[in-house]
Amino acid sequence: MRNLLYSVSALGMFGAGIGIAMAGVESVPTPQALWQEIQVLQKNQAIMPESSPFQAGSRTVDAFTIDLANAAAVQSISQAGGIIHVSRYKNDSLLVKENFNKNRKPTGVTAMLKLAGYDAADRNWVMAAYKPDGTMVSFGKIGSCIACHTMVQKQDFVFAPPPQQLLSIRTWKAFFPKQEMNPAYVSLLKEHPEAVVK
């Protein structure tokens, strides 16, 4: 991530690293450059701590999910002793959720990238959504993503994967009224009522 960010920085020959540290602001990668970083995590099967490949997602559009994390995010989690204990992710942390339908066909990819100075009011996350082929769907300070992820503001906007933390059917329906719930997730809600984030 560092190389990518520095290579697109406007600071040129003066040594981007130092320049960025002084300014406290990192350049925003293009949606395509971020997609390249996501593909590296996919290729390396960089599974997010505490998650497992093809875990249950909440709705039929994400019946199965794979969470990925880069080194900065993994370090943040291990230093804090778990996702629910992280109060601030390191800059350049990248988290990804790949979504699959019940036939394990890819339906989309979401990502969040922490950039120094990007959006201080919302903890500096660049939010992004892509089609499975990398076509950008939305990118930047996406209000709907932030409105939900702020439910775990204490964890710097990052949810622990199911069944550690779950959202109620009511919450999902408020954001995605037309989407069907995944029956496996509904079962998790019944088994783990204490896991519902309030």
Positions that interact with ligand HEC (CB under 6 A) = 57, 65, 67, 95-97, 110-112, 127-129, 138, 142, 144-145, 148-149, 158-159, 161-162, 167, 171-172, 175
The least CB distance from residue 129 to ligand HEC, in Å, is: 4
Q: Which is nearer to ligand HEC, 5 or 95 (CB)?
A: 95
Q: Which is nearer to ligand HEC, 7 or 150 (CB)?
A: 150
The least CB distance from residue 176 to ligand HEC, in Å, is: 7
Cβ atoms of 68 and 50 within 8 Å: the answer is no
The least CB distance from residue 2 to ligand HEC, in Å, is: 20
Q: Which is nearer to ligand HEC, 20 or 124 (CB)?
A: 124
Provide long-range contacts, Cβ within 8 A and 24+ apart, for 26-31. Answer: 26/91, 26/92, 26/115, 26/116, 26/117, 26/118, 28/115, 28/118, 28/126, 29/4, 29/5, 29/113, 29/126, 31/128, 31/130, 31/136, 31/139
The least CB distance from residue 116 to ligand HEC, in Å, is: 19
116: left (phi over 0), alpha (psi -120 to 50) or beta: beta
